[in-house]
Structure 1
Amino acid sequence: QMKLYVVARRDINSGKNLNNACNNAQRAYNYGKLQGTEGTRVYTESGMLVARCLNAIPAYANRFPNSKAQAKRVLQNLATNYNHSGAKNMLKQIN
Protein backbone atom coordinates (compact mmCIF):
# COMPACT_ATOMS: atom_id res chain seq x y z
CA GLN A 1 0.00 0.00 0.00
CA MET A 2 2.77 2.43 0.95
CA LYS A 3 4.72 1.69 -2.22
CA LEU A 4 1.67 2.27 -4.43
CA TYR A 5 0.88 5.52 -2.62
CA VAL A 6 4.44 6.87 -2.86
CA VAL A 7 4.69 6.11 -6.59
CA ALA A 8 1.25 7.60 -7.24
CA ARG A 9 2.02 10.78 -5.29
CA ARG A 10 5.36 11.23 -7.04
CA ASP A 11 3.89 10.79 -10.53
CA ILE A 12 0.81 12.96 -9.91
CA ASN A 13 2.90 15.78 -8.44
CA SER A 14 5.34 15.64 -11.35
CA GLY A 15 2.57 15.34 -13.94
CA LYS A 16 3.93 12.08 -15.37
CA ASN A 17 2.05 8.85 -16.12
CA LEU A 18 -1.11 10.38 -14.68
CA ASN A 19 -3.48 7.58 -15.63
CA ASN A 20 -1.17 4.95 -14.16
CA ALA A 21 -0.54 7.11 -11.09
CA CYS A 22 -4.29 7.42 -10.48
CA ASN A 23 -4.68 3.65 -10.85
CA ASN A 24 -1.96 3.18 -8.21
CA ALA A 25 -3.65 5.68 -5.89
CA GLN A 26 -6.95 3.82 -6.33
CA ARG A 27 -5.26 0.49 -5.55
CA ALA A 28 -3.64 1.91 -2.41
CA TYR A 29 -6.98 3.38 -1.28
CA ASN A 30 -8.79 0.10 -1.98
CA TYR A 31 -6.57 -1.73 0.50
CA GLY A 32 -8.53 0.09 3.20
CA LYS A 33 -7.13 1.29 6.49
CA LEU A 34 -4.30 -0.91 7.64
CA GLN A 35 -3.13 -1.17 11.26
CA GLY A 36 -1.32 1.67 12.97
CA THR A 37 -0.89 5.38 12.48
CA GLU A 38 1.06 4.97 9.26
CA GLY A 39 -1.71 2.77 7.83
CA THR A 40 -4.29 5.46 8.57
CA ARG A 41 -2.12 8.18 7.03
CA VAL A 42 -1.46 6.22 3.84
CA TYR A 43 -5.17 5.38 3.54
CA THR A 44 -6.32 8.98 3.97
CA GLU A 45 -3.63 10.47 1.74
CA SER A 46 -4.21 7.92 -1.03
CA GLY A 47 -7.91 8.80 -0.76
CA MET A 48 -6.98 12.44 -1.30
CA LEU A 49 -5.03 11.46 -4.42
CA VAL A 50 -7.99 9.45 -5.72
CA ALA A 51 -10.30 12.44 -5.19
CA ARG A 52 -7.82 14.68 -6.97
CA CYS A 53 -7.66 12.23 -9.88
CA LEU A 54 -11.44 12.00 -10.12
CA ASN A 55 -11.83 15.76 -9.96
CA ALA A 56 -8.88 17.21 -11.86
CA ILE A 57 -7.25 14.64 -14.14
CA PRO A 58 -9.46 14.21 -17.23
CA ALA A 59 -7.63 11.12 -18.55
CA TYR A 60 -8.70 9.29 -15.39
CA ALA A 61 -11.97 11.04 -14.53
CA ASN A 62 -13.46 10.48 -18.00
CA ARG A 63 -13.44 6.73 -17.40
CA PHE A 64 -16.17 7.12 -14.79
CA PRO A 65 -19.75 8.24 -15.48
CA ASN A 66 -20.01 10.43 -12.38
CA SER A 67 -16.46 11.13 -11.30
CA LYS A 68 -17.24 14.32 -9.38
CA ALA A 69 -19.83 12.52 -7.20
CA GLN A 70 -17.34 9.71 -6.56
CA ALA A 71 -14.69 12.26 -5.56
CA LYS A 72 -17.17 13.85 -3.14
CA ARG A 73 -17.98 10.44 -1.63
CA VAL A 74 -14.30 9.71 -0.98
CA LEU A 75 -13.77 13.17 0.52
CA GLN A 76 -16.87 12.93 2.72
CA ASN A 77 -15.62 9.59 4.05
CA LEU A 78 -12.24 11.11 4.93
CA ALA A 79 -13.74 14.29 6.39
CA THR A 80 -16.33 12.47 8.49
CA ASN A 81 -14.50 9.35 9.64
CA TYR A 82 -10.96 10.74 9.90
CA ASN A 83 -11.60 14.47 10.46
CA HIS A 84 -9.24 15.15 7.54
CA SER A 85 -8.87 18.91 7.07
CA GLY A 86 -7.56 18.59 3.50
CA ALA A 87 -10.65 16.60 2.56
CA LYS A 88 -12.89 19.25 4.13
CA ASN A 89 -11.14 22.00 2.15
CA MET A 90 -11.34 20.08 -1.12
CA LEU A 91 -15.06 19.43 -0.53
CA LYS A 92 -15.64 23.19 -0.20
CA GLN A 93 -13.79 23.78 -3.48
CA ILE A 94 -15.81 21.13 -5.34
CA ASN A 95 -19.20 22.40 -4.11
Structure 2
Amino acid sequence: MQVAPAVRVAIGEEFGLEPGSISTGKMVAALKALGFEHVFDTNFGADFTIMEEATEFIERIQKGENLPILTSCCPAWVKLLRAQLSRQVKLSI
Protein backbone atom coordinates (compact mmCIF):
# COMPACT_ATOMS: atom_id res chain seq x y z
CA MET A 1 0.00 0.00 0.00
CA GLN A 2 1.21 3.49 -0.83
CA VAL A 3 0.00 6.49 1.16
CA ALA A 4 0.31 10.13 0.12
CA PRO A 5 1.15 12.90 2.62
CA ALA A 6 -2.28 14.52 2.21
CA VAL A 7 -3.96 11.25 3.18
CA ARG A 8 -2.00 11.05 6.42
CA VAL A 9 -3.34 14.47 7.43
CA ALA A 10 -6.91 14.00 6.19
CA ILE A 11 -7.41 10.57 7.76
CA GLY A 12 -6.62 11.84 11.24
CA GLU A 13 -9.07 14.70 10.94
CA GLU A 14 -11.73 12.32 9.59
CA PHE A 15 -11.45 10.26 12.78
CA GLY A 16 -11.66 13.24 15.11
CA LEU A 17 -8.00 13.95 15.75
CA GLU A 18 -6.82 17.55 16.00
CA PRO A 19 -5.88 19.05 12.62
CA GLY A 20 -2.18 18.42 12.02
CA SER A 21 -2.05 15.50 14.45
CA ILE A 22 0.33 12.72 13.56
CA SER A 23 -1.77 9.64 12.82
CA THR A 24 0.70 7.70 10.69
CA GLY A 25 1.22 4.89 13.21
CA LYS A 26 -2.51 4.34 13.69
CA MET A 27 -3.12 4.39 9.94
CA VAL A 28 -0.33 1.89 9.24
CA ALA A 29 -1.61 -0.39 12.00
CA ALA A 30 -5.14 -0.25 10.55
CA LEU A 31 -3.90 -1.01 7.02
CA LYS A 32 -1.85 -3.95 8.28
CA ALA A 33 -4.90 -5.22 10.18
CA LEU A 34 -6.75 -5.12 6.86
CA GLY A 35 -4.09 -7.38 5.37
CA PHE A 36 -1.55 -5.06 3.76
CA GLU A 37 1.92 -6.46 4.38
CA HIS A 38 3.82 -3.26 3.55
CA VAL A 39 2.81 0.40 3.75
CA PHE A 40 5.01 2.93 1.96
CA ASP A 41 5.01 6.71 1.91
CA THR A 42 4.51 8.15 -1.57
CA ASN A 43 7.61 10.27 -1.02
CA PHE A 44 9.67 7.06 -0.75
CA GLY A 45 8.74 6.18 -4.35
CA ALA A 46 9.33 9.74 -5.47
CA ASP A 47 12.89 9.56 -4.13
CA PHE A 48 13.57 6.47 -6.24
CA THR A 49 12.12 8.21 -9.28
CA ILE A 50 14.46 11.15 -8.78
CA MET A 51 17.48 8.86 -8.47
CA GLU A 52 16.56 6.97 -11.66
CA GLU A 53 15.96 10.20 -13.57
CA ALA A 54 19.34 11.53 -12.42
CA THR A 55 21.04 8.30 -13.51
CA GLU A 56 19.39 8.48 -16.93
CA PHE A 57 20.34 12.16 -17.29
CA ILE A 58 24.01 11.45 -16.50
CA GLU A 59 24.06 8.56 -18.99
CA ARG A 60 22.55 10.73 -21.72
CA ILE A 61 25.03 13.54 -21.05
CA GLN A 62 27.96 11.13 -21.18
CA LYS A 63 26.73 9.51 -24.42
CA GLY A 64 25.50 12.74 -26.02
CA GLU A 65 22.00 11.31 -26.41
CA ASN A 66 18.46 12.72 -26.57
CA LEU A 67 18.21 15.86 -24.48
CA PRO A 68 16.32 17.45 -22.84
CA ILE A 69 14.61 14.90 -20.64
CA LEU A 70 11.00 15.89 -20.09
CA THR A 71 9.47 14.05 -17.18
CA SER A 72 6.39 14.17 -15.01
CA CYS A 73 4.28 11.85 -12.90
CA CYS A 74 1.19 13.88 -13.79
CA PRO A 75 -1.07 12.07 -16.30
CA ALA A 76 -2.48 15.39 -17.56
CA TRP A 77 1.02 16.64 -18.41
CA VAL A 78 1.78 13.44 -20.32
CA LYS A 79 -1.54 13.74 -22.18
CA LEU A 80 -0.71 17.34 -23.12
CA LEU A 81 2.67 16.29 -24.51
CA ARG A 82 1.10 13.51 -26.54
CA ALA A 83 -1.58 15.82 -27.92
CA GLN A 84 0.48 18.94 -28.59
CA LEU A 85 4.07 17.91 -29.13
CA SER A 86 4.07 14.31 -30.34
CA ARG A 87 5.35 15.33 -33.78
CA GLN A 88 8.11 17.59 -32.44
CA VAL A 89 9.31 15.42 -29.57
CA LYS A 90 10.26 11.75 -29.60
CA LEU A 91 8.22 10.44 -26.70
CA SER A 92 9.43 7.52 -24.63
CA ILE A 93 6.30 6.89 -22.61
TM-score (norm 1): 0.28
TM-score (norm 2): 0.29
Q: Which has the higher strand share?
A: 2
